[in-house]
Structure 1
Amino acid sequence: MAMRHTRFNMNELAKRAAEAAGDAHTQCVQVEKFSDGMFNKSFLFTMQDGTQVVGKAPNPNAGLAHYTTASEVATMDFVRNRLGTPAPKVLAWSSKAKENPVGAEYIIMEKIAGVQLEEIWPKLDIKDRLEVVKAISGYQKSWMSTSFAQYGSLYYSSDIFENSEGCSLIGENESETREPRFAVGPSTGREFLDDGRMELNFDRGPRSSAEQYKTAIGLRELICVQEITKLPQSSISLYGPGTYYPSRSQKVAALNTYPRMLKFLLPTDTSISSSFLWHPDLHAENIFVTPERPWQVLGIIDWQSSELLPLFDHARQPYLLDHDGPPISGIDPPAFPQNYDQLDSAEQDKAQSLYLKMSLAALYRRYTYTTNERLYKAMEFRETTSFDMMLLAQNLLIDGEALYQSRVLDLEGEWSSLPGVQAYGNPPFPVQLSADEAASIEQDVSGSIKGMELMRDLRKLLGEAWPEKGVVPHDQYDQAKALLKQAKMETIGRMAHSEDERVAWSKSWPFDD
């Protein structure tokens, strides 16, 4: 809650909104607060003539002062006016909290028409859902019409550099042009900010190649592991006696293997390593559509924390296609459950719902394969061992070092088959681990799996009351607290075999009593 508390002058923000919405005589007559998000306070301002605009002020956890707001504004301008995406038009803004009468950073922007896709998505049949997905795919293709020579986040040149010459833009025909209004600067991505990273000083970019960018990620994690006051708690595992328990030395050991392998893990097809600007959180709440024709996208909001990344880092399916079932690969449709006739009616409904969701994800992949080959190649690369190793390494501050080291052991056996290794003439495996180190890693993996199973059991127990990212709805708060207290007692009773172990489990329990 403390990280989401921000103080500012609401009257001054309403005044800025009125000035942005009309002439000097316009007055704001009503302010409505939107539901709190994770990182911002947002409001709907209504003027005396009925005009409405949206205002937002970032919470302290949104990102680095000045940079987060400045990058979001420049990004919305670029995607709206250069990439043809219906991002909100910014009417007024300030990234300097101490230099404006509001007393906080803010953005005033137009109110997008239509409704959030989330409101109507559950009611749409698969045909209409596919049309929506095609529309989103069209915007993804437009984002790929322009790549950048650097990796980081986008800004107005005047906001980060003096006498900047701007940034280099690369068109679909590989022609390079200079854009003086915009510049690539430090990354504002969430992985550069969350879990205590925001408070530490390290190089956030920009970088000039995918290898430099990925190398910087390993250095970022190493610096944070070494300097952060307290290691963050994993969201996927419970730690205590009888499970794996993370330490700085184990994380450092894992991160020291990463740079030795990195250049061999990068894709040999450099076209999918190019730097592109992408929406960071493409879910149904951030997409506004015409209710009667939901494939007509009227606006895509929330460009905060957007990054210029290698295409293969962007190339996941839109979050609105995520489902609680097996991941989709290839372009073939999923198989219908063979035991469908043996299920009861409730289980049949559940199976059919999952099948339709998986079918839609498969249709998205097939449509991408047909209309956007480069993006599909990036999606395929994300299914490789090489990508998995890079993905695991970029969050080792939080968790995964045991599994990462285990994958390093396994990787030696398939090393010569990796395309990146073959491209460099099949050099020997660059990591040497002793038999004792290998045995210790396997023991750590066993404990880590046990800890993840405990967390899965806990999540299953709480069901809809599960505190996603530490947050629960107000009406489920008491229920969640009671269930967590019950789970704590049951877990300690099952896992602790002595008073010392009971104390240790109690201290490591990640939820408040």
Structure 2
Amino acid sequence: MDINPEIEMPDPLELFSFTCGRFVANEEHELAQRYREFNFNELARRAARAVQADRCLSIEKLPDGLYNRILLLTMDNGKEVVAKIPNPNAGRPHFTIASEVATMKFAREVLCIDLPQVYDWSSRAQETPVGAEFILMEKVHGVELQQLWPKMTTEERWEVVKAIAAYQESWASVTFEQYGSLYFAEDFEGENIPALVYTDEKGQRVEDSRFVIGPSTSREMFDMGRRGIDFDRGPWNSLEEFHAAIGHRELACVQHLPNLHPSPLTLRGPGLYQPTREKKIAALETYLKLLKYVLPADRSLGSSHLWHDALHGGNIFVDPDNPGRIVGIIDWQSTGISPLHFHIHQPRFMKHDGPQLHGLERPVWPPDYDDLKADAKRAADALFWDQTLCSLYRTLIYHRIPKLFKCFEFQTSTPSSLLLAAARLSIDGEAVYLYTACELEKQWENLPGTQGVAFPLTLTITERQKIFEDAIGAVVGMEAMDRIKSRLGRNFPQHGFVLHHKYKMVIDALSQATREVLSEVEAIKIELAASEQ
């Protein structure tokens, strides 16, 4: 492909490749999953035409994401266009981009969310001269919240929290009749899929023929080798169908993946728990046996909603002159229509170190605050105000979105744990899952719908003992991994990725920390046993 000398741009290989850093494991595979060729000259022409410009002056590659290539194209009329090109690991071809664009349109026009306007797009690489799927959208004129958050006042932070709660109130007020992902109707032309039906904030039933609900594009449908496995991707008509499909999906993956994926949460090695297909299948069969008894009794907690679950500081843009004002929310890729109780995450930008509050709990100052040294006082102050913000958020949700607050309460229950953990059982968690399921027998009679129903699991004393031993072994493995993360601190490779200049240092540190922690396994077992007494 010839480079247009009139366009200022990086080397094409840099545009096509993941260049932000390196991967500490399976690097060749990981980089291949993030390599995408495309016709940048045609992309520039499409972008110029989309904003009534004569030509594109420059193409700038923005920092790599894990799933997409993001470019900034500047036109001769002064306008800027953001181009988003999905990597091979972003999701199913066509479906992922088609759903993202439809979701953005619905969120912008029906839910009234501030997000970028889409100028042009294609979800079918073979039908466009660009040679790849793409979205061309407006540039959000603001600053990432994560850049300003550390310097913002408590009042400014509170304004952001209130704005996010208002968005969530809007999302909670619109209820759908199915679970899956949103698409334009023309994406399923000739397939006899009914038009989208939802209940709006006024309680009115609305039919919108522009949209349909189709297969889910959530990451769990594609990541960790799931892309090539045949299972039900939706849509689903009931809460029980939605949750049953999760169990059958994970079963299909355990049975048909050529190799089990190593857990990112648990260290494996001598003296530690070793997962097997048989144990994972046992956990998933247990999930399917218990499913109808662990669904929330208040079915409003399972109502179907469109929700942005990645509210971290990189996806929220604010006004630099008024940081408390949100000007846009980006990255709607893989946003699905799913049960409300699946959205019980406190916004990630509010995450902080230290103890977490629960329910309507309020923060308190340390009893020895006046005796603390200056550094300790500053740390106590920071924790107090972080906790205060979280407490205010929960209180706001309690008053404005009662059923979402009920989801926070449901989150603390064993049934909720069993529902949520099932979604990853092909990857990790089966040992603790089986133990938690066995422990459910102690509260069985208090669960709704179980009166007169025998506990579905029949296990011998030997089987229960083995489940207990496996759970302890898995907890030891998790504690071991936590120790490795603690020793590396901010240098721990989240998602297996590190910056170039840190690569050798991180590899060496990981190797050393792993050796040290493996030598501590017996001590960890003793410590955990002592803490249980």
Equivalent residue, structure 2, for 1:224? 253
Identify which of 454, 458, 474 aligns with 2:500: 474
Separation in 1, partners of 2:431, 2:71? 44
Q: Which runs of 5+ in 2 are unaligned?
A: 1-30, 523-533
Separation in 2, partners of 1:167, 1:434? 49
* Alpha-carbon displacement from aligned partner over 1:169-218 (angstroms, at most 9, x marks no partner): 12245432221110101111111111111221211100001111001001
Q: 1:453 to 1:9 in 2, by over 3 A?
A: same
Equivalent residue, structure 2, for 1:499? none
Distance apart, 1:268 and its partner CA: 1.6
Equivalent residue, structure 2, for 1:122? 150
Q: Which moved more, 1:315-324 or 1:298-307?
A: 315-324
Equivalent residue, structure 1, for 2:71? 43
* Alpha-carbon displacement from aligned partner over 1:214-243 (angstroms, at most 9, x marks no partner): 010011111101111111111111012211
* Alpha-carbon displacement from aligned partner over 1:320-341 (angstroms, at most 9, x marks no partner): 1122233321213122223434
- After TM superposition, list the pairs within 5 Å mapping 1:311-460 onto structure 2: 311-341=340-370, 343-418=372-447, 420-421=448-449, 425-460=451-486
Q: Which moved more, 1:485-494 or 1:255-264?
A: 485-494
Q: Which moved more, 1:333-342 or 1:240-249?
A: 333-342
Equivalent residue, structure 2, for 1:484? 510
Equivalent residue, structure 1, for 2:490? 464
Check the 8 A contact 1:210/1:273 in 2, yes or no. yes
Q: 1:133 to 1:412 in 2, by over 3 A?
A: same
Check the 8 A contact 1:280/1:305 in 2, yes or no. no
Equivalent residue, structure 1, for 2:526? none
Equivalent residue, structure 1, for 2:90? 62
Check the 8 A contact 1:152/1:206 in 2, yes or no. yes
Tell me the amino acid that sits aligned with residue 81 of structure 1: E
Identity percentage over the alignment?
A: 44
What is the root-mean-square deviation of aligned Cα atoms in Å? 1.6
* Alpha-carbon displacement from aligned partner over 1:71-120 (angstroms, at most 9, x marks no partner): 00000000000110012111000001111111110000011111111111
Distance apart, 1:473 and its partner CA: 2.0
Check the 8 A contact 2:480/2:518 in 1, yes or no. no
Identify which of 8, 13, 18 aligns with 2:48: 18
- Secondary structure of the residue aligned to 1:323 is coil
Separation in 2, partners of 1:340, 1:243? 42
Q: Which moved more, 1:151-160 or 1:339-348?
A: 339-348
Distance apart, 1:493 and its partner CA: 5.1
Q: 1:62 to 1:2 in 2, by over 3 A?
A: same
Separation in 1, partners of 2:436, 2:460? 15
- Secondary structure of the residue aligned to 2:494 is coil
- Secondary structure of the residue aligned to 1:154 is strand
Q: 1:302 to 1:439 in 2, by over 3 A?
A: same
Q: Which moved more, 1:2-11 or 1:371-380?
A: 371-380
Distance apart, 1:482 and its partner CA: 1.4
- Do residues 2 (structure 1) and 21 (structure 2) align? no
Separation in 1, partners of 2:293, 2:514? 44
Q: Which moved more, 1:175-184 or 1:156-165?
A: 156-165
Check the 8 A contact 2:260/2:426 in 1, yes or no. yes
Tell me the amino acid that sits aligned with residue 117 of structure 1: L
Separation in 1, partners of 2:194, 2:483? 55
Equivalent residue, structure 2, for 1:105? 133
Identify which of 68, 71, 76 aligns with 2:104: 76
Equivalent residue, structure 2, for 1:249? 278
Check the 8 A contact 1:280/1:303 in 2, yes or no. no
* Alpha-carbon displacement from aligned partner over 1:45-91 (angstroms, at most 9, x marks no partner): 10012111100100011000000000000000000001100121110
* Alignment: residue pair count: 491
- Secondary structure of the residue aligned to 1:4 is coil
Tell me the amino acid that sits aligned with residue 188 of structure 1: T
Distance apart, 1:481 and its partner CA: 1.1
Q: Which runs of 5+ in 1 are unaligned?
A: 497-513
Separation in 2, partners of 1:37, 1:348? 37
Separation in 2, partners of 1:325, 1:431? 38
Separation in 1, partners of 2:382, 2:499? 25
Equivalent residue, structure 2, for 1:504? none
- Secondary structure of the residue aligned to 2:364 is coil
Tell me the amino acid that sits aligned with residue 40 of structure 1: N
Equivalent residue, structure 1, for 2:182? 154
TM-score when normalising by structure 2: 0.89
Q: Which moved more, 1:284-293 or 1:319-328?
A: 319-328
Separation in 2, partners of 1:234, 1:487? 18
- Secondary structure of the residue aligned to 1:336 is coil
TM-score when normalising by structure 1: 0.93
Separation in 2, partners of 1:398, 1:165? 35
Check the 8 A contact 2:98/2:184 in 1, yes or no. yes
- Do residues 301 (structure 1) and 330 (structure 2) align? yes
Tell me the amino acid that sits aligned with residue 83 of structure 1: L
Equivalent residue, structure 2, for 1:291? 320
Check the 8 A contact 1:83/1:145 in 2, yes or no. no
Separation in 2, partners of 1:164, 1:252? 34
Check the 8 A contact 1:368/1:376 in 2, yes or no. yes
Tell me the amino acid that sits aligned with residue 35 of structure 2: H
- After TM superposition, list the pairs within 5 Å mapping 1:272-287 onto structure 2: 272-287=301-316
Equivalent residue, structure 2, for 1:132? 160
Tell me the amino acid that sits aligned with residue 111 of structure 2: L
Check the 8 A contact 2:172/2:401 in 1, yes or no. no
Separation in 1, partners of 2:502, 2:101? 36
Equivalent residue, structure 2, for 1:510? none
Check the 8 A contact 1:158/1:164 in 2, yes or no. no
